[in-house]
Amino acid sequence: MAYKTINPYTNEVEHEYSQATNDEIEKTLAAAHALYLKWRDGSELVERKQVITRLGELLRSKKHEMAEIMTRDMGKLIGESEGEVELCASFCDYYVQRADQFLAPTPIYTASGNAYVLHQATGVLMAVEPWNFPFYQIARVFIPNFLAGNPMILKDASNCPTSAQAFADLVKEAGAPEGSLTNMFIDYDQVGAIIADKRVQGVCLTGSERGGQAVATEAAKNLKKSTMELGGNDAFIVLPDADMDKLAAIIPAARLYNAGQVCTSSKRFIVPDNLYDEFLKRATEIFSNVKMGDPMDPATTLAPMNSEKAKNKLQKQVDLAVENGAKVVYGNQPVDLAGQFFMPTILTDISRDNPIFDQEMFGPVMSVYKYHDVQEAIDLANDSSYGLGNTVFGKNVSEARKVAAQIDTGMSWINSGWASLPELPFGGVKHSGYGRELAEQGFKSFVNDHLVYEPEA
Ligand code: NAP
């Protein structure tokens, strides 16, 4: 399996890595399992907190260097990469401050004696992660699990190997013992073999529905606990009283951040008929004013997509939408630049029988739907195989909250585009996956809630 950095702005191959051998996998499993045995009774938490504190310091002091690695791997704007490094450092602060609290035993009230639940490590984890947030995706599973005492083997996306290795190297530099986080360049069969190994107790994946199904199947076959953070087709419901200036200010981040390649990007804009024409006018202005170019240049506002493969896939999806009746309001033209740029595109008139209606378009494409009454908007938002996030936007916040409560997703944002912070649990329902990352829920995803009960004599 080829692990390569192909810079999507220049199309040049910058790095290539050879595949790990099965002997290397065995050594990694042995080192990781030995750590688990050392940590499972809660030992060395103080030392692990010191490592994570140091990791936060390193992330901050090497912010630009790390950001450049990510931008070269998958093309995101340098400012976005720097923001990602800072966000990872904030995960370090958050979990170091709360690890003792999250790991403290929980007393259980029972009239029959004494009972409490210990929150203990469970063992080695296999993490499979995507390219769209190369550091953030690793950080949000590694940091809490390292503190909880679960060592981790990482298989990252084959198109951002340099970022994955840089993150693992930083963890080592922060003082983590060998086996704490091992980045491995391995193929799908090797991932399956690791999942099947009896020393591995959990599997977490962030990625597509297809990748999630494959890896969740391996986990289920081997009765390993798993969490799945998968795709989304998030609705952005504009309510009839929406302030259009405020709305226009958040559209660029909601749809175009990371070249639209965010699981929680707003992908389907559901707009009332009284604001529909105005919305399309504003969205067209925003999309036509983006500046495509070198992602290292702070003046660039729309990055290339992460790879030629991703760009071709998106083009096929737009073609499919149009063949089945969608109208192109803006975009869908070739871009005269060498990198993997996709012209931001606005589609309307997507009927429910259009095959694109229930597909995630992972790039700078906005679908716009018109509604007459709010129930229609809620029904449209819920008419999706996915259930990751949504936004509800309107002046009357209590009305917006009522609407949000009726959407079948794991997350809702009111009067804001998507957001991710260490204290906010992240995850979805339906085909967007199961389990949560971040916050206390994420910390406890792979913790053994170990009951201890002493009945009265
Ligand atoms: P993907 O193809 O599923 O890849 C994700 C990871 O899974 C990569 O490391 C990939 O390795 C690996 N993988 C895929 N199939 C595998 C298999 N059969 N066995 C073992 N490993 C396998 O996903 P993607 O298309 O690159 O990523 C974008 C998707 O991720 C979007 O759908 C997006 O919405 C979703 N996402 C979800 C969240 C969330 O939190 N819910 C966050 C970010 C992204 P290779 O690279 O080697 O194929």
CATH code: domain of residue 317? 3.40.309.10
Whether 49 maps to a domain, the answer reads: yes
**Owner of token pair 């969205």:** 283
Alpha-carbon distance of 13 to 166, in angstroms, equals 17
Pocket test for ligand 1, best of 128, 184, 418, 426 (most atoms within 8 A of CB): 128
Give pLDDT tens digits along the chain (457 positions). Answer: 799 999 999 999 999 999 999 999 999 999 999 999 999 999 999 999 999 999 999 999 999 999 999 999 999 999 999 999 999 999 999 999 999 999 999 999 999 999 999 999 999 999 999 999 999 999 999 999 999 999 999 999 999 999 999 999 999 999 999 999 999 999 999 999 999 999 999 999 999 999 999 999 999 999 999 999 999 999 999 999 999 999 999 999 999 999 999 999 999 999 999 999 999 999 999 999 999 999 999 999 999 999 999 999 999 999 999 999 999 999 999 999 999 999 999 999 999 999 999 999 999 999 999 999 999 999 999 999 999 999 999 999 999 999 999 999 999 999 999 999 999 999 999 999 999 999 999 999 999 999 999 999 8
Q: If we measure between CA atoms, which residue out of 22, 51, 20 comes closest to residue 35?
A: 51
Task: Specify whether 358 is located in the same domain as 437.
Answer: no
**Owner of token pair 């794991």:** 410
Alpha helix ranges (H) inside 151-274: 161-173, 188-196, 209-221, 244-251
CA torsion sign for 99, 231, 332, 254 is: negative
Q: What is the CATH number of the domain that holds 65?
A: 3.40.605.10
Whether 59 maps to a domain, the answer reads: yes
Tokens encoding 231: 């795709």
Pocket test for ligand 1, best of 132, 359, 424 (most atoms within 8 A of CB): 132
Whether 101 maps to a domain, the answer reads: yes
Cα–Cα separations (whole angstroms), residue 383 to 201, 236, 267, 307: 35, 13, 14, 30
Q: Is 437 a catalytic residue?
A: no
336-377 pLDDT per residue, tens: 999 999 999 999 999 999 999 999 999 999 999 999 999 999
Give me ligand 1 centre to Cα 4, in Å.
16
Give the angle subtended at the CA of 402 by the CAs of 400 and 403, to the nearest 5°.
Answer: 65
Can you give the residue range of the structural domain that contains 151? 3-230+432-455
Task: Specify whether 279 is located in the same domain as 148.
Answer: no
Task: Specify whether 185 is located in the same domain as 325.
Answer: no
- Looking at residue 66, what is its pLDDT? 98
In the three-class reduction of DSSP (H, G, I as helix; E, B as strand; rest coil), residue 16 is classed as strand
Whether 344 maps to a domain, the answer reads: yes
Task: Specify whether 442 is located in the same domain as 413.
Answer: no
Cα–Cα separations (whole angstroms), residue 210 to 45, 191, 213: 37, 15, 5
- Looking at residue 447, what is its pLDDT? 98
Task: Specify whether 286 is located in the same domain as 341.
Answer: yes
The alpha-carbon radius of gyration of the chain (Å, integer) is 23
Tokens encoding 257: 């951040």
Cα–Cα separations (whole angstroms), residue 281 to 238, 248, 285, 368: 15, 10, 6, 12
Task: Specify whether 155 is located in the same domain as 65.
Answer: yes
Task: Specify whether 174 is located in the same domain as 95.
Answer: yes
Alpha-carbon distance of 352 to 341, in angstroms, equals 29
Domain count, the chain: 2
Whether 427 maps to a domain, the answer reads: no
Please identify which of the residues 129, 209, 229, 360 carries the catalytic annotation: 229
Per DSSP (E only), the strands in 306-388 are 327-330, 345-348, 365-371, 386-387
Task: Specify whether 190 is located in the same domain as 50.
Answer: yes
CB 39 within 8 A of CB 177: no
Tokens encoding 288: 């036509």
Q: Which residue minimizes the CA distance to atom 43 of ligand 1?
A: 263
Task: Specify whether 133 is located in the same domain as 171.
Answer: yes
- Looking at residue 457, what is its pLDDT? 82
Task: Specify whether 208 is located in the same domain as 273.
Answer: no
Task: Specify whether 355 is located in the same domain as 441.
Answer: no
Whether 426 maps to a domain, the answer reads: no
Q: Which residue minimizes the CA distance to atom 4 of ligand 1?
A: 207
Tokens encoding 171: 């963890």
Task: Specify whether 275 is located in the same domain as 402.
Answer: yes
